[in-house]
Structure formats: structure tokens, C-alpha cells
């Protein structure tokens, strides 16, 4: 699929993030594949997924474009979303359409620059998504050759706003200042969050926990019940 065809498929649509790590109740490649199938039935245009095992299982039942990432901790960096070229190679090998990686202004830990990582993906016919946390990082990601920018990491770096709601301002600022496709991602929970974010005309939207993490959904209802006691 060409870059244009791929972008056309995800433009204006909902991307569902289907992720459950080892410490989460739904950690299972089978369950993530069913989550992805449910997302497809509901009208999702693409799936964002973590790890080779989950991605393989998802690809068996869902033919939507896959944005792949590998969350992995290393001792010498705060980066954990596809932090090194090793994870990028694993994702290319499993056959994802887009690789999402940390493109924040934090230490690179493998001696390979973001430009080189993007080039490796392009040489293999895969698009590069920059997971960023500030406007400046988005602007730099564009210069470094990324294809798509996502607001994934706002609230998860020490220097970005630590807020409970989505970073609406970042989505607005990016759509005004950066010409690349801007994906709104992170803490989109209420339908009204989504309506508000769509006013800024993002290229597409990623929703994860509010759809695929039932422990989070349950906790929101429990909070309301407790606050009414």
C-alpha cells in the first residue's frame, strides 16, 4: 500500500488502541485480537497495538492498518515506546504499516538518531509516527522526516502539562503550526472530549483505555457512585 493510500484509509477516522501489558488484567494476545475485531466491527479505521505477539494475533483476525509499537524499559533512558532500533526491526519484521516511537526531547539510548530510525522505516516501506509531548517536539519531528505526529506523550514527560483531560491546546497548536497529519491521542474519555477535539480538525483520533481497558471504565463509574454517597 502506498503512503497516500494508507493515509487516506485513516484520515478522519477512529484508531483504537488495543493494549494490555503484563500488569494489566486483559494481558493476552487472544483478548487483544478480539478487542481489535470489536473495534473493527464498531467502525475503527486502524488499530494501535503493542508487541509482536499481540500484533501477530490481531493481524490474523483484522485486516485494518496496524500502528505498531513495542513498550520496553531500558535502564539508561526514560523512553519506553519503541525506544531503540531493535524494537523497530521487530515491528518491521512482523509487518506493521506504521511504527510509533518516542520522539520526545529525551536521551536517545542506542546511539541511533531519530532521523536514522525514520530512514530505516522508509527504506522498508513503513511509515513513522512521532509520539510527542509538546509543540516544539512536533515541529522537530516534522524536520526529522516523520510522516505522522501524535500527541501520545503529553502528560507523560516531566515538562508537559500534567492534566487529567486530553491536551486540547497541543492538538490545536500542532494543527495550526505543523503541516504533517496530526493525530489526537491521550486521555480522550468522554464523548464531549472527542467533540471538542474534533473542532481542531485533527487528521485522526486514537482512543485506547476508554474503549479497551475495562478496569479504567469500571473505576470511572465507581468514582461517581462513591462521590454520591
Ligand X SMILES: CC(=O)N[C@H](C=O)[C@@H](O)[C@H](O)[C@H](O)COP(=O)(O)O
Binding footprint of ligand X on the chain (CB under 6 A): 17, 19, 69, 81, 152-153, 156, 185-188, 206-210
Smallest separation, CB 209 to ligand X (Å): 3
CB atoms within 10 A of CB 178: 16
- The cell for 6 is 494508507
Pick 27 or 228: Cβ nearer ligand X: 27
Smallest separation, CB 43 to ligand X (Å): 17
Pick 19 or 84: Cβ nearer ligand X: 19
Reference 19, options 152, 218, 163, 174; nearest CA is 152
Query: Crossing angle for the helix pair 29-42 and 52-61, nearest 10 degrees?
Result: 40
Pick 6 or 207: Cβ nearer ligand X: 207
Pick 69 or 170: Cβ nearer ligand X: 69
Pick 5 or 198: Cβ nearer ligand X: 198
**What one-character-per-residue DSSP string does 53-99 give?**
HHHHHHHHH--S-EEEE-B---TT-S--BS-SHHHHHHHHHHT-SEE
Smallest separation, CB 153 to ligand X (Å): 6
Smallest separation, CB 129 to ligand X (Å): 10
**List of residues 6+ apart from 180 with CB closer than 8 A:** 141, 142, 146, 147, 148, 149
Nearest to ligand X by Cβ — which residue? 208
Smallest separation, CB 2 to ligand X (Å): 25
Amino acid at each position: 500500500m502506498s503512503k497516500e493510500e494508507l493515509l487516506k484509509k485513516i484520515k478522519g477516522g477512529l484508531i483504537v488502541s488495543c493494549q494490555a501489558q503484563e500488569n494489566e488484567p486483559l494481558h493476552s494476545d487472544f483478548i487483544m485480537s478480539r478487542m481489535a475485531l470489536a473495534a473493527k466491527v464498531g467502525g475503527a479505521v486502524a488499530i494501535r497495538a503493542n508487541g509482536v505477539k499481540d500484533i501477530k494475533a490481531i493481524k490474523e483476525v483484522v485486516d485494518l492498518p496496524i500502528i505498531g509499537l513495542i513498550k520496553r524499559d531500558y535502564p539508561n533512558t526514560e523512553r519506553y515506546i519503541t525506544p531503540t532500533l531493535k524494537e523497530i526491526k521487530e515491528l518491521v519484521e512482523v509487518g506493521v504499516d506504521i511504527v510509533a516511537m518516542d520522539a520526545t526531547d529525551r536521551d536517545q539510548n542506542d546511539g541511533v538518531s531519530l532521523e536514522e530510525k525514520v530512514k530505516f522505516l522508509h527504506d522498508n516501506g513503513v511509515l513513522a509516527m512521532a509520539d510527542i509531548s509538546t509543540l516544539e517536539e512536533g515541529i522537530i519531528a516534522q524536520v526529522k522526516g516523520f510522516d505522522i505526529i501524535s500527541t501520545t506523550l503529553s502528560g507523560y514527560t516531566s515538562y508537559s502539562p500534567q492534566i487529567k483531560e486530553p491536551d486540547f491546546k497541543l492538538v490545536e497548536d500542532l494543527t495550526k503550526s505543523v503541516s504533517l497529519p496530526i493525530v489526537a491521542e491521550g486521555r480522550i474519555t468522554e464523548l464531549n472530549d472527542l467533540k471538542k477535539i474534533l473542532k481542531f480538525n485533527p487528521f485522526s483520533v486514537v482512543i485506547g483505555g476508554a474503549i479497551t481497558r475495562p478496569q479504567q471504565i469500571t473505576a470511572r463509574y465507581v468514582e461517581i457512585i462513591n462521590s454520591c454517597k
